[in-house]
Amino acid sequence: TLLIGVDQGRNPAAVMGQHHAGGLLNILGELTGSNMGMETFATTILRPYLSNHFAGVSALVALDPAGFAKSQVNDESPADVLKRAGFKVIPAPTNDIQRRIQAVEKFLLAHQGLQIDPSCTGLIKGLVGQYRFRARRDGEMEDKPEKKHPISDLQDCLQYLCLIAGGANLGRLTRTNQDRPKQRRFSSAAWT
State yes or no: pLDDT of 186 exceeds 50: no
pLDDT, tens digit (0-9, with 9 covering 90-100), for 26-78: 999 999 999 999 999 999 999 999 999 999 999 999 999 999 988 777 889 99
Instruction: Report, as an integer, the average pLDDT of 172-190.
Output: 41
What confidence score (pLDDT) does residue 190 get?
37
User: Is the pTM value of this prediction over 0.75?
Assistant: yes
Residue 15 β-bridge partners: 5, 30
Average pLDDT of the chain, as a whole number:
86
> SS in 3 state form for 22-79?
CCCEEEEEEEECCCCCHHHHHHHHHHHHHHHHCCCCCEEEEECHHHHCCCCCCCCCHH
User: Quick check: 181 pLDDT over 70?
Assistant: no
- Neighbour tally for 43: CB within 10 Å: 13
Report d(CA 96, CA 3) in Å as an integer: 20
pLDDT at residue 136, rounded to an integer: 87
Q: What whole-number percentage of the chain has pLDDT above 90?
A: 66
Strands of the 114-116 sheet, one edge to the other: 88-91, 59-63, 2-7, 13-19, 25-32, 114-116
DSSP H/E element including 123: helix 121-125
77, 169, 17, 106: CA torsion to nearest 10 = 110
Amino acid 142: pLDDT: 86
